[in-house]
Structure 1
Amino acid sequence: MTLSEILQELFKTTATQIALSGQYQNREQVQRYCFLIVLDIATYSPRSSIMMERILLSVICLSGWHIFSSCLLHQYHYVADPMNWTEAQTYCRETYTDLATIESAEEMNQLINKVSPSGLNSEVWIGLYKYMDWRWSDNYTGPGADYRNWGSGTPGTYLCGLGYTRYHGQWWGYACSSQYPFVCNNGTQQEPEFVYVPLAMSWTNAQKYCREKFTDLATVRSDAENQAMHAMVLSPYLWFGLHIDPNSYWSDWSNSSFRHWEGASLPVGSMSVVCGVAALQNSGKWKFLQCETRLPFVCYSVPPPPVTRQIVKLRIKRGDSSVDLNDPAVKADILKQLQDRLTEKGMSGVTLKWREQPDGKVFHEEKEGSQKNKRKKSEL
């Protein structure tokens, strides 16, 4: 077996052993974690007629070789000094990484356990926030986009605009999951053409229906358009295109899909942004508060990547006895070319080193008798 074949087989075997060990189960983010391999060059035979092939290790095929890396949890840091959300965000970014992002139930429990020793049993800021500005379904921002016809005490704490025909076409904020008829626009933003749809749907389903059958849910820019919309409606209530962005965001722009909501309504009022807390008195459930509220908070940092040491033993057969494998230049050339190949494959977190024996050497000749004895033992 040639040197390149030996090493190729070695790396395949090593990768298989790593996979079977169960230590590395996530194939993603390979470059995010460091992985240290130490080559332990153990025994050699001088009798082989196979040449060292000029140490051309670049022929080693590493395609399909995966290093499995364990996903690291966030490391949380509780700060008892009360701050508003923006101040807490600034502090976390300057001192750690950012306000806490939570990506799983395990991390939620980790955050609770971090704060528990303090005895706090109320809310702490985390990295969530939400825009509360009302906008149109078709993203209209031209003249009249700011027109509103809210009834007294509205829009309240809900996220979708509901028209109330019996009260002169006044608008109310209402739960988007409620089912009502709706009005679509079958024209353009500049020249709308209202179409009444007498089917009871949630706001989201009404939006989908209008976009599939017409243009979008109706945008209303003036008293005249509001009166025209309500004049064609037979129901006392109707959906139209006004709503609040239903999405919430993390301070570090994470796209985590994990949710742990308390289920309470949102504090809308006149606020354009609300900020997220974990309510420790309610199993850390999330809700939104005014961002100017002063509260303790939780930051996160990313712990340093783990370094795993993997020892790989090789037997290299040498044909030219004049080649000194312990020559520093030869050893350096082997490592450099192996390292280059790993880098080409995107495995920049892998570091290769020789493992020296007590006498300072890496390569040691294996006597023929020793090899025969090993074969006999293996046959017993």
Structure 2
Amino acid sequence: MKTHGLVVLLLSGCLLVCDLRSAGALRRYHRVDEIMNWPDARRHCREKFADLATIEDGARNTEAERAGGSRTKLWIGLHNSTWGWSSGVHLKPYTFYTNWASEQPSFWKCVMMAGSGLWYSRDCDDKHYFLCNNGLTGSDVLVQTLLSWTDARAHCQRHHKDLSVITKEEENQQLQLKLNSNHTTNPHGVTGGTAGHPDQNQDDRYQYNPKPSAWFGLFRPEWKWSDGSTAPYRRWKAVQAQRAAGCVTMDLTSAEWIQRPCINKYAFLCYSEVNVSMVRAVKLRLSSSAALTQWAEPESVLQQVRQKLVERGVREDVKLSWRRQLDGRVFNREQEEEQQSASC
């Protein structure tokens, strides 16, 4: 808590200085029992409180668990639901063209197209061919080199424009045709990733598979908090579902976190912040009767004190008010004060 000392010799009176600044605000969690999907829950929290719950450490997780009460699961603020293109354009959830395969996307963050034209999210370190967009002609090219998504993106940005973008069915069909017509087999197999068709058995992930697949520009960023916090704390449940899960609930039976589809509907946990204030009394004294006559109005004195605070760099964070004596007066002359027991 930062405090500010002030000594002004004006009058004999008691001034209350309320310092609203503190090293940190007091955070409170609030359970909301309305059943909503994650975007609607976030909107509600932002309207009524501050945001969906952000949890920075184990102590906060325990506080959130207690606030959750008897509910079995609650939305919290962690999510990675916003897909975006490698070119930097981010997309609004549920409003852009997709062609996901059944049970997709999974929790992986990078996206490839199979020979069927369907999309699969995959580990970004897996190696596939990739589709680049040529910025000069606007056409797309299949690069038949096995690279991770990150390396494929770097290659496209260096030699073309970027990884390909797909915004409608016609574009998806054109890239599917290019992928199948230009695909050649790789008799040497693959090391370090799943370059073959996404439906291949995981036991065969390092073996040759002639079915085509290629990275394109869609990806999902790292997990982040709804309020923009960068707190790295996580309390994941050991076993997570393989289904698409861009948002997170807290399981109140264990206080662990579970990834869930953002369109699911649950109760949720919001937070608010309350600034902690401290009140201090400052005694002001007057050294001459002339000054007493000049500054007899309490509000005039407050204006002078506020000006002094501004000059010392203290602004709206401090509020001033007078403490009145038992007889209702604010000021006392020194000789009167000596006969009274009033104090700040």
TM-score (norm 1): 0.57
The separation in 2 between residues aligned to 1:76 and 1:147, in whole angstroms, is: 36
User: 1:309, CA displacement in angstroms?
Assistant: 1.3
* Residue in structure 2 matching 1:332, options 294, 299, 303: 299
Kept in 1: contact 2:65–2:252 (CA 8 A): yes
The separation in 2 between residues aligned to 1:99 and 1:67, in whole angstroms, is: 22
* Residue in structure 1 matching 2:104, options 134, 139, 155: 155
Matched length? 287
AA at the equivalent of 1:179: D
Structure 1 residues 1-380: aligned runs within 5 Å: 23-24=1-2, 69-79=22-32, 81=33, 83-85=35-37, 96-97=48-49, 100-105=52-57, 106-116=59-69, 118=70, 120=71, 122-128=72-78, 131=81, 136-138=85-87, 139=89, 146=97, 148=99, 153=102, 155-157=104-106, 158-164=108-114, 168=115, 170-185=117-132, 187-188=134-135, 191-194=138-141, 196=143, 198=145, 200-201=147-148, 203-219=149-165, 221-229=171-179, 231=182, 235=186, 236-237=195-196, 239-246=214-221, 254-258=227-231, 259-260=233-234, 262=236, 264-265=240-241, 267-268=243-244, 275-289=247-261, 291-293=263-265, 295-303=266-274, 305-313=275-283, 318=287, 321-324=289-292, 327-329=295-297, 331-340=298-307, 342=309, 345=313, 347-355=315-323, 360=329, 362=331, 364-365=333-334
The separation in 2 between residues aligned to 1:82 and 1:354, in whole angstroms, is: 45
Kept in 2: contact 1:36–1:350 (CA 8 A): no
In structure 1, the residue matched to 2:15 is none
Percent identity between the two aligned chains: 18
Change (3 A) 1:98 1:172: same
Kept in 1: contact 2:133–2:140 (CA 8 A): yes
Kept in 1: contact 2:110–2:124 (CA 8 A): no
User: 1:110, CA displacement in angstroms?
Assistant: 1.0
Change (3 A) 1:129 1:181: closer
**3-state SS in 2 of match to 1:277:** strand
Structure 1 residues 191-232: Cα deviation after superposition (integer angstroms, max 9, x where no partner): 22426273532x245334533553111236243433334525
AA at the equivalent of 1:192: S
**3-state SS in 2 of match to 1:177:** coil
AA at the equivalent of 2:30: H
**3-state SS in 2 of match to 1:281:** coil
Change (3 A) 1:146 1:97: closer
Change (3 A) 1:350 1:208: farther
User: 1:256, CA displacement in angstroms?
Assistant: 1.4
AA at the equivalent of 1:104: E
The separation in 2 between residues aligned to 1:43 and 1:296, in whole angstroms, is: 57
The separation in 1 between residues aligned to 2:98 and 2:259, in whole angstroms, is: 29
Kept in 2: contact 1:217–1:241 (CA 8 A): yes
Structure 1, unaligned stretches of length 5 or more?
A: 1-22, 25-34, 45-65, 367-380
AA at the equivalent of 2:156: C
Kept in 1: contact 2:157–2:163 (CA 8 A): yes
RMSD: 4.4
Structure with greater helix percent: 1
The separation in 2 between residues aligned to 1:352 and 1:39, in whole angstroms, is: 14
AA at the equivalent of 2:304: Q
Structure 2, unaligned stretches of length 5 or more?
A: 13-18, 187-194, 197-212, 336-344
